[in-house]
Amino acid sequence: MNCRDTNLLINAYADGELDAARTLELEQHVQSCAECKCAWENIRALKKSLKQDALYFAAPADLRQRIKASLPSPAKRISTRAAWSWNWLTTAFSGAFAVCLALLLTMTIPHGQENRLADEIVSEHIRSMMANHVMDVVSTDQHTVKPWFNGKVDFSPPVRDLAAQDFPLVGGRLDYLNGRNVAALIFQHHKHIINLFIWPSKQTSSQPAALPSRQGFHLVHWSDGDMIYWAVSDLNETELMDFAHAFNTASH
Amino acid sequence: MVPVDERERLNLFEQTVLPHLDAAYNLARWLAGNDHDAQDVAQEATLRAFRFFGNFRGENARAWLLTIVRNTFYTWLRKNRPQETMVEINDETLANEDALIETNAVSNSTADAELVRQAIAELPVEFREIVVLREMEGFSYKEIAELADVPIGTVMSRLARARKLLQHRLAAEFKPGGPS
Ligand SMILES: [Zn+2]
């Protein structure tokens, strides 16, 4: 073992993350090398300095209260449950009321849900790019990417290469969205990355439609009656729509 | 019976996730750099965690919550401080820093908290988060790798680099005889 190799190992040793064999080797080296011994003691002193209580920021009380106030109130929940057990008449009324409420909600919620989904999709798009984790499988070949999803998702996403339309397929990724595993196909257009999220849905088919941009990203979604598609990119809206139409056309 | 399910979900969330609010705020505070933004990030992340609580598989609630805090923070950062991009530390600077530090002997004293705080705050954000997750939250390399979505090797090298930078900035504190 020479001193050049030891830097990472000393850190791992100080963190209790070094395996037994290398621990022994490192300990022997540190005993015989003044420089590495010094480095080791430096790390120990630093670790001690970083663990001071004064450096830990505990959550302020008003933050805790605000969060609790934003969660559904347990008191309300209890009274709702009590209402159920009053008597059958009340139950029937509650039931009827719940149905009315549900009908009302189906009319008003989709928009909110769509917005929430759009936010989530933009977050995933940003995350996939910031974490340098755009692709799990890197391939421009649709016949490589498609089987890659076998066993990873319980559906078979249509995979198309759109190189001829200037949107080459560059890979695929498994992602998690809207409370389920989804397939993400990654396309490129010049320097821009497009994430196309796909999951099954019996929603009636719809033509590509653009959403207002959020955080500088454009979103287009459509459905073909079997799958839902959400494309997100920093491409401008026109180009992203072109992409959506190209994909939609190639799939049928 | 939606109300009962909801109530159980809320109870479970309060028992398993909310106890880690300090950790959530601490990470947000170190990442965002000030109380106001940290509160925003921690609050949004915690409410997001409640919304997606159905996805939580009951492994490690603290790691799960901090993953959401981290993602929320980077989304926030991109939106509010797009100019604050990730800084690449070049190896030459670090090699010089290596030389500087290795010649210093150490004292056993603990460095002054205020100076340490300043030194951590000056670290590039991707180093800062690893230091917080390792030294303040005590996560293993593997847990940090999952949480920060980077390979374990990256966790190790970032941690080693972060420590070099901190030692460099606190060099005076670690000289024999303590702070100068
Ligand atoms: Zn040595």
ipTM of the complex: 0.86
Question: CB B43 to CB A70 under 8 A?
Answer: yes
What rounded mean pLDDT belongs to chain A? 81
**Nearest-by-Cβ selection for B21 from A38, A64, A132:** A64
Question: CB B78 to CB A130 under 8 A?
Answer: yes
- pLDDT for position A137: 75
CA distance B58 to chain A (A): 16
Averaged pLDDT, A62-87 = 63
- pLDDT for position B107: 53
Residues 108-167 (A) with a CB less than 8 A from some CB of B: 122-123, 126-127, 130-133
Beta strands in chain A (DSSP E): 137-138, 169-177, 180-189, 192-200, 206-214, 217-223, 227-233
- pLDDT for position B73: 95
- pLDDT for position B7: 80
Retrieve residue A170's tokens: 């560059």
Residue A42 touches partner B, C-beta closer than 8 Å: yes
Better-scored residue on pLDDT, A208 or A7: A208
Question: CB B39 to CB A133 under 8 A?
Answer: no
Sheet (strand A169-177) strand order: A137-138, A169-177, A180-189, A192-200, A227-233, A217-223, A206-214
How far is residue B68's CA from residue B41's CA, in Å, rounded to a whole number?
10
Q: What is the three-class DSSP state of A162?
A: strand
Retrieve residue B177's tokens: 């005889």
Residue A22 has pLDDT above 50, yes or no: yes
**Nearest-by-Cβ selection for B113 from A55, A64, A66:** A55
Residue A7 touches partner B, C-beta closer than 8 Å: yes
CA distance A39 to chain B (A): 6
Q: Decide: A215 and B80 in contact? Cβ < 8 Å.
A: no
pLDDT in tens, A100-114: 444 444 444 456 778
Query: Around B93, how many Cα atoms within 13 Å sit in the side-chain half-sphere?
Result: 8
- pLDDT for position A85: 38
- What b-and-e string marks burial along A35-53, b requiring 16 or more CB atoms within 10 Å of the CB? ebebbbbbbebbeebbebe
Q: What is the three-class DSSP state of B139?
A: coil
Beta strands in B76-123 (DSSP E): none
Query: Around A110, how many Cα atoms within 13 Å sit in the side-chain half-sphere?
Result: 5
Beta strands in A35-148 (DSSP E): 137-138
Q: Decide: B30 and B42 in contact? Cβ < 8 Å.
A: no
- pLDDT for position B78: 86
Residues of B in Cβ contact (< 8 Å) with A127? 71, 74-75, 149
Long-range contacts of residues B124-128, Cβ cutoff 8 Å, at least 24 apart: B124/B86, B124/B87, B124/B89, B125/B31, B125/B77, B125/B84, B125/B86, B126/B86, B126/B158, B127/B89, B127/B158, B127/B161, B127/B162, B127/B165, B128/B30, B128/B31, B128/B162
Q: What percent of chain A has pLDDT over 70?
A: 82
Question: CB A179 to CB B55 under 8 A?
Answer: yes
- pLDDT for position B27: 98
**Nearest-by-Cβ selection for B102 from A38, A58, A77:** A38
pLDDT tens-digit profile, chain B (180 residues) = 345 577 888 888 988 899 899 999 999 999 999 999 999 999 999 999 998 888 887 778 999 999 999 999 998 998 888 777 555 544 444 554 554 444 454 555 677 899 999 999 999 999 999 999 999 999 999 999 999 988 989 999 999 999 999 998 888 776 654 443
- pLDDT for position A2: 75
Residues with CB under 5 A from ligand 1 (ion): A 3, 33, 36
The confidence band for A74, taking pLDDT boundaries of 50, 70 and 90, is low
Cβ neighbours, 10 Å, residue B138: 10
Q: Which residues are bridge partners to A52 per DSSP?
A: none
The reported pTM is: 0.57
- pLDDT for position A11: 94
Query: Mutate which of A77, A79, A109 to test chain B, going by most B C-beta atoms within 10 A?
Result: A77
Burial of B20 (0-12, 13-18, 19+ CB in 10 A): buried
